[in-house]
Amino acid sequence: MSMVKGINPGRLKHKVTIMRYQNTEDALGNTVNVLSPLKSVWAEVRPKRGDEQLEYYKITNSQSYKITIRYTDVTTKDVIVYKGRQFQIVAIANPLEDNYILELLCTEFIDHAVKEAEPAAGEDNKDPVESGGDG
């Protein structure tokens, strides 16, 4: 009996975006690092465990995930975005060294998000200002 290499494609039902830091110039001509979309791939997103710790009198919340994707050029410096949430890649496993799938061990910090690239010019993302009445 031969071993079939692969993964059930039905497990890869979540569309995630791989973001990579790239050097760009800001309005003043300074070089800054911002997250830019690299590619979108299908993935399986599975929660592993949650942690809550007290660090210098500040409670930090984090959740660990295992994200399985098809083999691609992802590194631990990249960030995974799924449904507006950001996952920092902690480790990358290549099961059986077959270059077929990758298991990304990621952490989502509930209280922290990395700034992404600014929206295109002309888009207004200001919050509405509440005006107080004289009641």
pLDDT in tens, 14-57: 999 999 999 988 888 888 988 899 999 999 999 886 565 555 55
User: 98: pLDDT confidence band, cut at 50, 70 and 90?
Assistant: confident
For residue 68, give Cα distances in angstroms to 19, 29, 45, 74, 105: 16, 39, 7, 12, 9
Q: How many domains does the chain have?
A: 1
**Domain containing residue 60:** 9-109
Residue 125 lies in a domain: no
Residue 66 CB-density burial (10 A; 0-12 exposed, 13-18 middle, 19+ buried): middle
What pLDDT score does 52 carry? 58
Q: Which residue has 């990758």 as its token pair?
A: 102
Residue 131 lies in a domain: no
Residue 133 lies in a domain: no
Residue 65 lies in a domain: yes
Residue 128 lies in a domain: no
For residue 114, give Cα distances in angstroms to 35, 41, 43: 8, 20, 21
CATH number at 35 reads 2.40.10.270
Residue 114 lies in a domain: no
Give this prediction's pTM.
0.70
Residue 1 lies in a domain: no
Residue 75 lies in a domain: yes
